[in-house]
Structure 1
Amino acid sequence: MPDNSNKFCESNDVHIHIPSWINEAYFKKLLKRELTEFRKILNLSIIPASPPGECESYTSLLMRIIIDIEMKDGFTQQKSYIMKTMLTDAAGIGYINTLNIFPKEKQMYELIIPQLEQLYQEQGRSVKFSPKCHWAENVNGRISLVLEDLKTKKFSNINRLKGFNMKQMQRVLEKLAEFHAASAVWHQRNGAYPEDFQRIYLPANYHRSKSYQARIQSYKTAMATWGFSNPELYTSRIPTADQFVQSAARCFNNDPLEFKVLNHGDFWSGNILLNSTLACDIKEIHFVDFQRCKWGSPAQDLWELIICSSHHSLRTKQFDCFVRIYHTHLIQCLKLLNYAKPLPLLRELHMSMLKHGFWGYFTTFMHLVLILLPVDNGASLPKLMLPGEDGDRFRAKVYTNPLYVRAALSIFPFLHRRGLLEF
C-alpha cells in the first residue's frame, strides 16, 4: 500500500500542502459507493490541477486525484477526479471562508445545476452545464467537492492569452444563454434563490486602503506610457476609491423591472472548458467554478466574457454582435422552457449593458491584468495589491505587459465613447 503520510504534492516545481485527511480511506468511501465491483486501491496520486505559473486559485485547494484500482474480477482500471476543498485559516486567507462561496458552490453542484439541466430534459433536450459532482460534504464547516475530471473526456481550456475566436465566442455565448434562460425559469418556478445568491460583497474602507491607492497610482503611471495621444483624457477618469465602491454598488441595484438571471459571476476562459473535434468544431462546453454566482442582470457575465476572453481583434469591433448572438439564443431558450414573463428585448439588453457598464472597467482593471500576463511563477493577486516598492515593481511589470497594453488601447476608448468612464 502506498504511504499517505506525505502531506505535499508537487508537479514541475509546484508544491501544494495536502491535508492529512485526503487519503486512501477517504476515497474508498466514494469508490465503494460508485463501483459495486470495487476491491481495493492499488495506488493514489495527488497532483496540482492547474499548470504551474497559471492563474492560481486564492480561494480553494484544487487537486487532481489519480487512482489505480483493482476490481473483484482481478482487472484493474484507473479513475481520475478533481478535488476542491477550502483553504485553511492557517494559510492566511481564512477570511475568504467567511464569504460563503463554498456553501454556494455546494448548492450549485448538488441542487441547482441538476435542476437547470432537468428543465431542458423535460423539453426533450439533453443539456449539461458542468462536470458531474461525485461527492459533496460539509464536515464541521469544511466543504469539499469531488468532481468529474473533464480532462479524461478531452475537455480543455483555450490559451487565455489568445482568447476565443469568433466561432468559439458564438458557441460560448449560446451556452451562456442556455444557462441564463434556465436560471430565469428556475426562479419563476421556485421563487428567489437562496440568500447567498442575493447577497453582495462590496469592498469596505477603500478610501483608506493603501492597496487601492498604490494600484491606481501605478496604473496611471503606466497609462502615460501606453501610447495614447492624450493620456490625461483617460488617467483623469480613473475612479477614486469612493467612486469605485459606489459604481460597484449601483451594478447590484435591484431593479424589479429588469430582466435577471443567475450570473456565473467569474465568467472567463479559465472557467470554460471545450470539447472539440480535430477540425476544431466544438462538441460540448462545460463551466466550472460556481463560487460567485449572483442573481442580477446578465450584463455581468457578458461584460466579463467579452472583455476578458474574446480575441483582441474581436473584443470591441464585434461587441454589439456578441450581444445580439446571446440575445437571439436567450429568447429561443426562454420560449422552449415556457418562460411566462415578458421576453427581454434586444434594445433592453443593450440598455442594461450600458447601465451596468462599470463591469467593463472593473474587469479591465481587476481581472484582465492577470489573465493576459504570460506564465509567471511569481505572479499573484496579493503581490498586485501590495503597497510599497515590491508591489510597485510588480505592478509596473503587469501594467506595461504588451498584451495588456494592446487590449487597454482599444478598451478605454470604447468605454469612453459609451460614456462608461464618467464616474
Structure 2
Amino acid sequence: MPDNSNKFCESNDILVHIPSWINGPYFKKLLKRELKDFRKILNLSIIPASPPGDCDSYTSLLMRIIIDIEMKDGFTQQKSYIMKTMLADAQGIGFINTLNIFPKEKQMYELIIPQLEQLYQEQGRTVKFAPKCHWAEDVNGRISLVLDDMKTKKFGNINRLKGFNMKQMQRVLQKLAEFHAASAVWHQRNGAYPEDFQRVYLPANYHKSKSYQARIQSFKTAMASWGFSNPEQYTSRIPTADQFVQSAARCFNNDPQEFNVLNHGDFWSGNILLNNPLSSDINELCFVDFQRCKWGSPAQDLWELILCSSHHSLRIKQFDYFIRIYHTHLIQCLKLLNYTKPLPLLRDLHMSMIKHGFWGYFTTFMHLVLILLPVDSGGSLPKLMLPGEEGDRFRSKIYTNPLYVRAGLSIFPFLHRRGLLEF
C-alpha cells in the first residue's frame, strides 16, 4: 500500500496540513470493524472538505477520505467518509479548546442524536437528523469524528447566495421542528442537558476590542452609502461593545418558564444537506456541525435560518408565515412524542422572537455578511476582524457587497419596526 501519511493535500487552491496519524493504519481499524470480509487498503486519498473561507475551517480540520478496498473474495470497492478533527496546536487548538465545541459535538453524534431519533422510532416513525457517525474518539484531548459522506448519497447544499425557496423553507422548518420537539421531550425524560449545552463563550473584554470598534465604524460608513433616505436612523442604533455583550448575554440566559429546546446553534444553509439541492422536491434532509448546540429559546435557530438562508424575496415578506409553519409542525411532533408540559402557543413563539430579537441583529451583522460573500472573493473571518487599513478595505468591500446591501435594506427597517434596534 502506498505511503499515505502525507503532510499536505491541495484542492481548489487550498493547501491543508494533514496530520501524519491520519493514514491507512488508522482507517484499517474502522474498516475491519465494519466489513467482515475486508482484506486490505489499496489506496487512500485525502481531500479538503471545507469550501474556501468557510467558518468551520477556523475551528476544525474537515477532510473527505476516499479509500479503495480489496475484499477477501478479491473484489474491490470504494468507501468514502468525512473526517472531522481538531486543528494542530499552532493553528489555534488552545483557544478552540476553551469553547468546548468538540466535546459537545462528540456527545451529540455519539449519544444525543441517536436518542432523539429513537424517540420517533418508539412511535413507529423513522427520522434521521444527521449523518451516521462511524467512529468517535478522544485521544489525549484530541477529538476526532468519522462520519458518513453524504455526497455519495446525493446530498448537498443549496447555493447559499440564493437561499432556500418557499418549498425548501417549508421542509427545513418542519425538520427543525422535529429536532426541537425531540430535544424538548429528551429534556423532559432525562433532565437538564450537560453543562456544555447550557452556556456559550462570550468575550470578556469586548469593549476593549479594537477589532469590534473597527468593524462597527466600517459598518456605519458602509450603511450610510446603502441608499436609506435617513441612514442616521440606523447607524445611530448600531450597538456599542457593551450593549452588544449585554444583549447577547440576555439572549443566552434561559427562562425556565419559556418553552425551550436544544438549538442547533449555527443553523444556516451550509449546515443543512438536502437529498436534491437543485430541486424544490425534497424527500430527505439532515443537519451537520453540532458544535454550537445550546439549550434555550427556539428563536435562536429561527432567526438565523430565516434571515441568513431564505431567498431574499421571502425573508421579510413571509417571516411571520415561516413562524406559523414551524409552530404547526412543532405541536404535531410534541403531541406525537407525548410531551406532557403545556404546549407553546403561536403567540408565545412570536413573543419569544421579539424577546430574543437581538439574534436578528446578531446574525445579520456577524453571519449574513460572510454567507452572502461570493466564494471567489477571498473573504475570511480573520480578514473581517483585522484592524488597520487592510481590514478597513476588506470590510468596506463586504459591507457594500450588493447582495448584502439588498439584504440590509430590508432587514434593518424590519428590525427597527419591531423595536429590536433599541439597545
Q: TM-score range by the shorter chain?
A: over 0.9
Aligned equivalent of 2:204: 204
Q: 4+ residue runs of structure 1 moved beyond 4 angstroms?
A: 53-56
Instruction: Name the CA distance, whole Å, in 2 between partners of 1:136 and 1:252.
Output: 29
Aligned equivalent of 2:404: 404
Instruction: Name the CA distance, whole Å, in 2 between partners of 1:6 and 1:347.
Output: 56
SS at match of 1:20: coil
Instruction: Name the CA distance, whole Å, in 1 between partners of 2:144 and 2:53.
Output: 24
Matches within 5 A, 1:59-74: 59-74=59-74
Are residues 104 and 14 of structure 1, via their aligned partners in 2, closer, same or farther at CA, if it must alter by over 3 Å? same
Instruction: Name the CA distance, whole Å, in 2 between partners of 1:377 and 1:86.
Output: 26
Instruction: Name the CA distance, whole Å, in 1 between partners of 2:241 and 2:185.
Output: 37
Matches within 5 A, 1:200-239: 200-239=200-239
Instruction: Name the CA distance, whole Å, in 2 between partners of 1:411 and 1:164.
Output: 17
Asked if structure 2 preserves the Cα contact closer than 8 Å seen for 1:52 and 1:377, the reply is no
Aligned equivalent of 2:245: 245
**Cα offset for 1:13?**
1.5
**Cα offset for 1:278?**
7.8
**Cα offset for 1:193?**
0.3
Deviations 1:174-206 (A, max 9, x none): 000000000000000000000100122212211
**Cα offset for 1:97?**
1.7
Aligned equivalent of 2:29: 29
Aligned equivalent of 1:334: 334
**Cα offset for 1:138?**
0.2
**Cα offset for 1:280?**
3.7
**Cα offset for 1:96?**
1.1
Are residues 179 and 160 of structure 1, via their aligned partners in 2, closer, same or farther at CA, if it must alter by over 3 Å? same
Gaps of 5+ in 1: none
**Cα offset for 1:73?**
0.3
Instruction: Name the CA distance, whole Å, in 1 between partners of 2:92 and 2:106.
Output: 23
Aligned equivalent of 2:108: 108
Whether 2:138 is the aligned partner of 1:153: answer no
Asked if structure 2 preserves the Cα contact closer than 8 Å seen for 1:55 and 1:371, the reply is no
Are residues 22 and 179 of structure 1, via their aligned partners in 2, closer, same or farther at CA, if it must alter by over 3 Å? same
Instruction: Name the CA distance, whole Å, in 2 between partners of 1:244 and 1:211.
Output: 14
SS at match of 1:403: helix
Instruction: Name the CA distance, whole Å, in 1 between partners of 2:277 and 2:197.
Output: 36
- Greater shift, 373-382 or 287-296, is seen at 373-382
Whether 2:368 is the aligned partner of 1:382: answer no
Gaps of 5+ in 2: none
Q: Normalising by the residue count of structure 2, what TM-score does the alignment of the two structures yield?
A: 0.98
Instruction: Name the CA distance, whole Å, in 1 between partners of 2:376 and 2:205.
Output: 31
Asked if structure 1 preserves the Cα contact closer than 8 Å seen for 2:158 and 2:278, the reply is no
**Cα offset for 1:56?**
5.1
Asked if structure 2 preserves the Cα contact closer than 8 Å seen for 1:8 and 1:16, the reply is yes
Deviations 1:51-89 (A, max 9, x none): 345555211000000000000000000000000000122
Instruction: Name the CA distance, whole Å, in 2 between partners of 1:353 and 1:280.
Output: 27
Aligned equivalent of 2:175: 175
Are residues 251 and 278 of structure 1, via their aligned partners in 2, closer, same or farther at CA, if it must alter by over 3 Å? closer
Aligned equivalent of 2:348: 348
Aligned equivalent of 2:364: 364
Whether 2:293 is the aligned partner of 1:293: answer yes
Deviations 1:89-112 (A, max 9, x none): 211453012211000000000000
Instruction: Name the CA distance, whole Å, in 2 between partners of 1:204 and 1:316.
Output: 34
Aligned equivalent of 1:99: 99
Deviations 1:364-413 (A, max 9, x none): 00000000001136211011001000100000000000000000000000
Deviations 1:262-313 (A, max 9, x none): 0000000000000129864101010000000000000000000001000000
Whether 2:199 is the aligned partner of 1:195: answer no
Asked if structure 1 preserves the Cα contact closer than 8 Å seen for 2:99 and 2:200, the reply is no
Whether 2:282 is the aligned partner of 1:276: answer no
Instruction: Name the CA distance, whole Å, in 1 between partners of 2:279 and 2:419.
Output: 41
Q: CA RMSD in A?
A: 1.1
Aligned equivalent of 1:304: 304
Instruction: Name the CA distance, whole Å, in 1 between partners of 2:175 and 2:60.
Output: 26
Instruction: Name the CA distance, whole Å, in 1 between partners of 2:161 and 2:87.
Output: 28
**Cα offset for 1:6?**
2.0
